Structure 1
Amino acid sequence: MAYKNLFFDLDDTLWAFTQNARDTFEELYDKYRYDRFFHSFQHYYTLYQQHNLELWAAYGRGQLTKDELNRQRFLYPLEAVGAGDAELAKAFTDDFFILIPTKSGLMPHAREVLEYLHPRYNLYILSNGFQELQCRKMRSAGIDRYFKKVVLSDDIGVLKPRAAIFHFALSATQSQLGESLMIGDSWENDVAGAAGVGMHQVFYDVSGNSPLPFKPTYRITDLKDLLGIL
């Protein structure tokens, strides 16, 4: 297949969201002396992560606004230990969104792969991330220059894996479906979403052993594997 247009997810596909986020949370845990409320950072972070997944799922279904998503996910761990201070949670939240886009960690081999692909393909970002964060994260990591356009769910209020965001991305970049490839680490959002509109997909299986409900067009465990496909 002669691809011309590569659509990359950003978080945990190129930009190392999991590690960057953890580092940010740990810094703010110390700054706000959350050890007053939790047995350890891991105690706090486990509570946050468990509820955060549920809230994002509700947000994806249109059951929460972005503001309510952020209010609830940062307040919940405090409420879970009987310390539900909304003002403290709001201060933590504000600092989080200032600090996290300054992090520059990338997934292994991301930069060298982009360097190779950049002169050969039209590169685009297709992300569910927040508009006020994603471009800043890319600039901090020094990868913004590789991409012709950043397409975000915030642009139309629709998240991957819904078909509308993929159709919007194709239209916004003037890309033909048959010449386009979606690359991402989320099975549901990136792979199943792209497959649902007939777009070829690359599943970046970071764990290397994810059970799959159907066979994606391609499956990789390292971004360098893209060089054997493209």
Structure 2
Amino acid sequence: MKNYKTLLFDIDDTLLDFKATEQAALKKLFKEQKLELTAEIELHYQTINQAMWRAFERGEVTQKEVISNRFTEVFKAYGKEIDGAKVDQRYREFLAEGHHLIEGALNLIQELHEKFDLYIVTNGVSTTQYRRLEDSGLRPYFKNVFVSEDTGYQKPMPEYFSYVFERIPNFEKNETIIIGDSLTSDIKGGNLAGITTCWYNPGGTIAGQEDQPTLEIRKLEEILILLNVTSTVH
């Protein structure tokens, strides 16, 4: 195993449970908009939202277009006209309230912080991500946070990773590893950038041929084994 110095961590569904946060935020939003959040409507939202974020990752749409249009399309399908940007702002306010940690995430980061240089690499809205990191207790352990909205680029774009690398002191690719749950942004981006990739895959999903990770883990604590770190938590 290489001697790594720099660890790049994704946030959503890697360190923070985005699914739980998202569901709570959606319930609050739809209640406020006086539209019952049925399973059908939630599935419709998820389909539209995921398609838009994939398009964003491919550079086909801007982040502004994603957050302005996703709820407009959903509500329109159920006969309700809204101001998409304003409704999305409310959703992101609700989302920022959520900081459910993935089990073992905080202890893991506390341990790794003592031995490695830790950075956050995330696609998303800056105000939402910064608040969630602060409220979860994770923020003090990271040397810097790189949010796509701030950088002007997004994972998996090589420009995003170049932006990050240029702002890490004494950066070396062969001493760097990215840990994340997304094959299309974290793993693909890391592969294109020429660094080691570690896929957090708790569900045991089978990876396609296109975006193969260097390493794969089912539980976060397995990172300690991969990095040859002796745990101090009992």
| Fold agreement, TM-score > 0.5 | yes
Instruction: Please identify, of 159-168 and 5-14, the stretch whose mean Cα deviation from structure 2 is larger.
Output: 159-168
**How many angstroms does 1:90 deviate by?**
4.6
Instruction: Please identify, of 63-72 and 215-224, the stretch whose mean Cα deviation from structure 2 is larger.
Output: 63-72
Q: 1:184 aligns with which of 171, 175, 180?
A: 180
Correspondence for 2:157 = 162
The 3-state SS of whatever aligns with 2:221 is helix
Unaligned segments of structure 2, at least 5 residues:
228-234
Correspondence for 1:136 = 131
Q: 1:225 aligns with which of 222, 225, 229?
A: 222
Unaligned segments of structure 1, at least 5 residues:
none
Correspondence for 1:204 = 200
**How many angstroms does 1:193 deviate by?**
1.3
Q: 1:145 aligns with which of 140, 146, 151?
A: 140
Residue identity opposite 2:178 in structure 1: M
CA distance in structure 2 between the aligned counterparts of 1:56 and 1:215, rounded to whole angstroms = 21
Aligned length: 224
Provide TM-score, normalisation by structure 1: 0.91
Alignment of 1:86-97 (within 5 A): 86-87=82-83, 89-97=84-92
Residue identity opposite 2:195 in structure 1: M
The 3-state SS of whatever aligns with 1:178 is helix
1:65–1:198: structure 2 CA closer, same or farther, 3 Å change rule?
Answer: closer
CA distance in structure 2 between the aligned counterparts of 1:206 and 1:80, rounded to whole angstroms = 34
Provide TM-score, normalisation by structure 2: 0.89
CA distance in structure 1 between the aligned counterparts of 2:89 and 2:159, rounded to whole angstroms = 31
Q: 2:77 aligns with which of 77, 80, 83?
A: 80
| 2:155–2:186 Cα contact (<8 Å) kept | yes
The 3-state SS of whatever aligns with 1:125 is strand
Q: Higher helix fraction: Structure 1 or Structure 2?
A: 1
CA distance in structure 2 between the aligned counterparts of 1:160 and 1:62, rounded to whole angstroms = 10
* RMSD of aligned residue pairs (Cα, Å): 1.6
